[in-house]
Amino acid sequence: MDDVRLRSRAPNARLWLAGGWLSLLLAAAILAPLIAPQDPLAQDLMFERLPPFWMQGSEPGFWLGTDSLGRDLLSRLIFGARIAFIVAFAAATAACLAGSTLGLVAGYFGGWADRIISRIVDVWMAFPPVLFAILLVAVLGTGLHSVIIAIAVIDWTRFCRVVRAEAMVQSRMDYVENARIAGFGRMGIMLREVLPNVLPSIVALLSLEMGIAVIVEAILSFVNLSISTDAPTWGGIIAEGRLSIHQAWWVLVFPLVTLFLTVLSFSQFGEGLKDRYDPVLR
Amino acid sequence: MILQRLLARLLTMLITLFGVAVVVFVVIRVAPGDPIAMMLPPGASDDDILRLRTLYGLDKTLVEQFFIWLGGVARGDFGTSISLRQDVLSLVLNRLPATLELAIFALLMALAIGVPLAVLGARERGTAVEAGIDVANGAALSIPDFLWGLVLILLFGVLVPVFEISGRVSPRLELPFATQFYLFESIFRLRFDLMKDLLSHMFMPALALALPLAAIVSQLLKQSLKEILDLDYAVLARVKGFSETQVILRDALKNAALPTLTLVGVQFTFLIGGTVIVERLFSYEGLGNMAIDAVINRDLPLIQGIVLVFALLFVLVNLAVDITYALLNPRLRHG
């Protein structure tokens, strides 16, 4: 009994904490032009490498300090959240739709469909993902859409593998057999019986994947392959911070903390949702 | 029977590698931008462009180009790097040891962190110690190597500067090495001064790669240990007077290792994949760092070569795990 109660209490706390941070960030991203204290692109060499507000030498209005070109760090982080969320939602949704569909088909129908899809997944898994992403973006040309396509093209396998395995287990269950005896078609059973039971895993993975997409975008902009060099991306800020680490630690620390919390929140949010809506645990 | 399985495994391995070769080739060929145009100075004549296209075989159809390239690869000829004007295979072989040393060192670190934590967690199961280990595992798992790398740079490169944050070895040192396996060679030659310098460079990138894997090892091994410790023979050993730690180390660990091993294999391939960005982060002169430069320079032959070598590493690791599993698993050994 105690064990069950612990289980249902802990996920709620992390669901709220993670959801809270993500909502805050999403609000900041949507309202960016209204709430950002400065223009994220405005350079001012008079104000280069200003420290955060509590340190000596800071200037009012530049809360988290500035980078080596005098651009306001807080404003860049807020505008960077826009790019992070666009990539997270678009890329993760695309990867989820493609991967879950293929996984469902492979796991439920089995046979040739399964063999072909599994073989493709094997090939995909033999690529180092970061290198694959960099290669795809280089081929497609830098830009937001290339980043989104690259992440979707690489990460659909995550959904495919999990959904395939779960669909396989579900399709051997009695209720699927009952539905067949009751006269439902295979397509109908797959969508109406198997899919809802696989859904909690898909939702958890989707949230996890959003965190991964944010990281991949940061990595791509870190190696200067995401969108234009000027654009305020978290990875771009980190790359800048890595260079001036001995002169201005804050340029690395703040985007790092933001990224840290965001990735952690996406994964905890997913896990929390899964525990909450998993029919077995519930 | 094991031989049959092995042959089947080798066949799927080849099919996977062939698939990787096809995908890389297709992806690279649809790239806009002419690699030849980039090699020539502006204002080169059409004749020059045509001559170079013929030289690199770019005037043939895609399918012809693919099989010419694949035939070369089979003979060990990966072509010539466009940006570095050197043989791709020798470039790759020159950098591969650095990446292998980093990956293996990271794997050992992951085991050195993960296994003791698993043993401790299983011994102290149900206590605050186990809960603490679970929380640490959760955090280590959800944060990827790229972020760990940055955190480590801040901690041990800037805040308490004890380790080197960039490069593989200090440039001022004279290197007496015959191979590119610097770390292994420094140990064999008993050059502990060089070993210390190499480790000081390797420590942080390896730890960044090791942390997520250490969490997986500790989590999974702890779970298996806990299940085994409830079994009859563990109870019997306890009755005979062995302490909990002795039961774990003498009996349980051996049996719990098998399920962990399979997963560590897959995760080790992820770790190898992670070297690409971690090497970049620490300016470590390995294969991954070279790969990113190759992509930025649109060096098609070099990219193809590196991706193929990575894919080969991945399938070899999987094969090694399968073989070890078959050898260690009594059910398969006698089947």
Residue from the list A127, A211, A219 with its beta carbon closest to the beta carbon of B277: A219
pLDDT band for position A1 (cuts 50, 70, 90) = very low
Cβ atoms B304, B80 nearer than 8 A: no
Please tell me the distance from the alpha carbon of residue A12 to that of residue A17, in angstroms, as a whole number.
Answer: 9
Say whether A267 and B310 touch across the interface (CB within 8 A): no
Q: List A66's β-bridge partners, or say none.
A: A72
Give the number of beta-carbon pairs within 8 Å between A and B. Answer: 123
Please tell me the distance from the alpha carbon of residue A76 to that of residue A83, in angstroms, as a whole number.
Answer: 11
Q: Which of B295, B302, B308 to mutate to test the interface with A (most CBs of A within 10 A)?
A: B295
Find chain A residues with C-beta within 8 A of B315's C-beta.
126
Residues of A with CB under 8 A from a CB of B: 119-120, 122-123, 125-132, 134-136, 138-139, 141, 211-212, 215, 218-219, 222-225, 238, 242, 245-246, 249, 252-253, 256, 259-260, 263-264, 267-268
Helix (H) or strand (E) holding B261: helix B253-281
Between residues 120 and 149 of chain B, which touch chain A (CB distance below 8 Å)? 139, 142-144, 146-147
Please tell me the distance from the alpha carbon of residue B178 to that of residue B185, in angstroms, as a whole number.
Answer: 8
Between residues 260 and 289 of chain B, which touch chain A (CB distance below 8 Å)? 269, 272-277, 280-281, 288
Tokens of B93: 């072989």
What percent of chain A clears pLDDT 90, i.e. is strictly above it? 43
Residue with the bigger pLDDT between B62 and A146: it is A146
Per-residue pLDDT of chain B (335 residues; tens, 9 = 90+): 667 878 888 898 899 999 999 998 888 877 666 666 666 666 677 787 777 777 767 777 778 888 888 888 888 888 888 888 889 999 999 999 999 999 999 999 999 999 999 999 988 888 999 999 998 998 888 889 999 999 999 998 888 888 988 889 888 888 888 888 988 888 888 888 899 999 999 999 999 999 999 999 999 999 988 888 888 777 788 888 788 788 777 778 888 888 888 888 888 999 999 999 999 999 999 999 999 999 888 888 898 899 999 999 999 998 888 888 877 776 655 54
Please tell me the distance from the alpha carbon of residue B243 to that of residue A174, in angstroms, as a whole number.
Answer: 46
Compute the residue count for chain A: 282
- Among residues A11, A17, A25, A89, the alpha carbon closest in space to that of A265 is found at A17
Q: What is the pLDDT of residue A259?
A: 94
Q: What is the pLDDT of residue A5?
A: 43
- Among residues B172, B108, B200, B166, the alpha carbon closest in space to that of B289 is found at B166
Find chain A residues with C-beta within 8 A of B28's C-beta.
135, 139
User: Please, where are the H alpha helices in chain A?
Assistant: 2-30, 32-35, 73-109, 111-125, 129-140, 144-171, 174-181, 186-189, 195-222, 234-243, 250-277
Say whether B298 and A138 touch across the interface (CB within 8 A): yes
Cβ atoms B208, B152 nearer than 8 A: yes
Q: List A72's β-bridge partners, or say none.
A: A66
Q: Interior CA angle at A204 toward A199 and A210, to 5°?
A: 125
User: By mean pLDDT, which of A123-137, A203-217, B267-281 is the weakest?
Assistant: A123-137
Please tell me the distance from the alpha carbon of residue A61 to that of residue A115, in angstroms, as a whole number.
Answer: 60
State how far residue A171 is from chain B, nearest Cα, in angstroms: 25
Q: What is the pLDDT of residue B40?
A: 64
Which residue pairs, CB below 8 angstroms and at least 24 apart, start in B171-177? Answer: B173/B197
Q: What is the pLDDT of residue B38?
A: 60
In one letter, which amino acid is B327? L
Q: Is the ipTM of this complex over 0.90?
A: no
Average pLDDT over residues A91-102: 96
Could you give all domains of chain B from N- to C-terminal order, each with its CATH number? 2-74 (no CATH), 96-333 (1.10.3720.10)
Q: What is the pLDDT of residue A245?
A: 84
Find chain A residues with C-beta within 8 A of B292's C-beta.
131, 134, 223
Q: List B80's β-bridge partners, or say none.
A: B87
- Among residues B217, B218, B187, B219, the alpha carbon closest in space to that of B202 is found at B187
Say whether A119 and B23 touch across the interface (CB within 8 A): no
Helix (H, G, I), strand (E, B) or coil at A72: strand
Q: By the CB < 8 Å criterion, does B158 face chain A?
A: yes
Cβ atoms B142, B150 nearer than 8 A: no
Residue A66 dihedral angles phi and psi, to the nearest 5°: -130, 165
Find chain B residues with C-beta within 8 A of A157's C-beta.
none
Say whether B307 and A259 touch across the interface (CB within 8 A): no
Could you give all domains of chain A from N- to C-terminal order, each with its CATH number? 2-28+74-277 (1.10.3720.10)
Residue B255 exposure: Cα atoms within 13 Å on the Cβ side? 15
Tokens of B208: 């960044």
